[in-house]
Amino acid sequence: MLTDDHSAWGYTSSTGLGFTHHTIVDAHFRACLDAYGRLLGQAGIQPGWRVLDAGCGSGDFLPWLAELVGPRGHVDGLDLAEENAALARQRMSALDVPCGIDVRQGSVLALPYPDDSLDAVWCSNTVQYLDDGELAQALTEMRRVVRPGGVVAVKDLDAHLITARPADPYLFTDFFRTAGAAPGYAHQLLRTRELYRWLKRAGLADVRQQTVLIEHFAPLSAAARDFYGPACAQLAAQAQALGLSKEWELFLDAEGSGNPLDHPDGYISEGNVLAVGTVPG
């Protein structure tokens, strides 16, 4: 599973995958809180359902899912990193949630649930770690465990819409074009806008997709600054290794006084895609 270039992205968990450590995942969640909540609300999850959060990380979405399904529902969480699953269990045990929540370690490539045992799967910021063959396998697994008429909802980052100001408007585009030319994590971050096609190939029906632009304007909120400063610094280090624009030097020091994110006209954006399909009856 997974590409061998993740160490360069930093913030790895025990899985070795970049940007899966709970500190950076939680920071990203806080930075995009409102948009994430709206996207989850459009997944079609209903009260009373049993829902799996496939790739739940440290559990950021679990309380929201519990509120959606209510006291007659149930939420399961699954994450590849055992320490993330343990942290999610610990966090959920400390919350007063309206339904039962069970979290375990496991892979989206072999979901540990019987056929037709769930009403929905929610999968957020996880398929970016799968190559094409693994993505097809994971979607087949999601379809398998969801009953006919149930929902598979996949949300992920679209790197095409990442840009910052004041900076060369093509700075991030050039990075992802170069880094994504070969198979690997960058390439998979550029695949997100095609999720609707992958859901159709997996045999899901009534597939719908939407892409949203998440924007942050100066002065950036503390949550946005906490995520995008370190994230841009990681990209800048890779861009330098690839011999790209010297303008990346401005992003290298996440806390530096000259960082463009702290400019009075500072701005950064990213894209998120939600693709939803129904398991045929």
Q: What is the predicted pLDDT for the residue at 230?
A: 97
Let me know: does 216 contact 31? Beta carbons within 8 Å: yes
pTM: 0.96
Confidence band (pLDDT; 50, 70, 90) for 7? confident
List pLDDT tens digits, range 209-248. 999 999 999 999 999 999 999 999 999 999 999 999 999 9
Let me know: does 272 contact 153? Beta carbons within 8 Å: no
Closest CA to 125 of 225, 219, 11: 11
3-state percent helix, strand, coil for the chain, nearest multiple of 5: 40, 25, 35
What is the domain-level CATH number for residue 53? 3.40.50.150
Q: From CA 13, how far away is CA 11, in angstroms rounded?
A: 7
Evaluate whether residue 167 is within a structural domain: yes
Let me know: does 79 contact 43? Beta carbons within 8 Å: no
Evaluate whether residue 262 is within a structural domain: yes
Let me know: does 108 contact 54? Beta carbons within 8 Å: yes
Q: From CA 257, how far away is CA 158, in angstroms rounded?
A: 29
Domain encompassing residue 183: 6-278
Let me know: does 24 contact 230? Beta carbons within 8 Å: yes
Q: From CA 130, how far away is CA 126, in angstroms rounded?
A: 8
In the sheet with 74-79, reading across from the earlier edge strand, the strands are 100-105, 74-79, 50-54, 118-124, 146-165, 267-278, 205-217
List pLDDT tens digits, range 22-48. 999 999 999 999 999 999 999 999 999
Q: Which amino acid is at 166?
A: P
Q: What is the predicted pLDDT for the residue at 5?
A: 80
Q: Report residue 250 as tokens.
A: 């401005």
Evaluate whether residue 212 is within a structural domain: yes
Evaluate whether residue 259 is within a structural domain: yes
Bridge pairing between strands 205-217 and 267-278: antiparallel
- Helix residue ranges, H only, 94-194: 132-145, 171-179, 185-189
Q: What is the predicted pLDDT for the residue at 6?
A: 87
Residue 2 confidence (pLDDT) above 70: no
Contacts of 171 (CB under 8 A, 6+ apart): 163, 164, 245, 247, 248
Q: What is the DSSP letter of 94?
A: T
Give the residues across from 267 on adjacent strands.
165, 217
Once rounded to an integer, what is the mean pLDDT over residues 61-75?
A: 98
Confidence band (pLDDT; 50, 70, 90) for 1? very low
Question: Which residue is it, tokens 């598979």?
Answer: 152
Confidence band (pLDDT; 50, 70, 90) for 3? low
Q: Report residue 127 as tokens.
A: 């398929």
Total structural domains in the chain?
A: 1
Percent of the chain past pLDDT 90, that is, above it, reads 96
List pLDDT tens digits, range 98-131. 999 999 999 999 999 999 999 999 999 999 999 9
Closest CA to 193 of 90, 92, 275, 97: 275
Evaluate whether residue 1 is within a structural domain: no
Evaluate whether residue 218 is within a structural domain: yes
Once rounded to an integer, what is the mean pLDDT over residues 151-159?
A: 98
Evaluate whether residue 89 is within a structural domain: yes
Helices and strands (DSSP H and E) totals, the chain: 10, 7
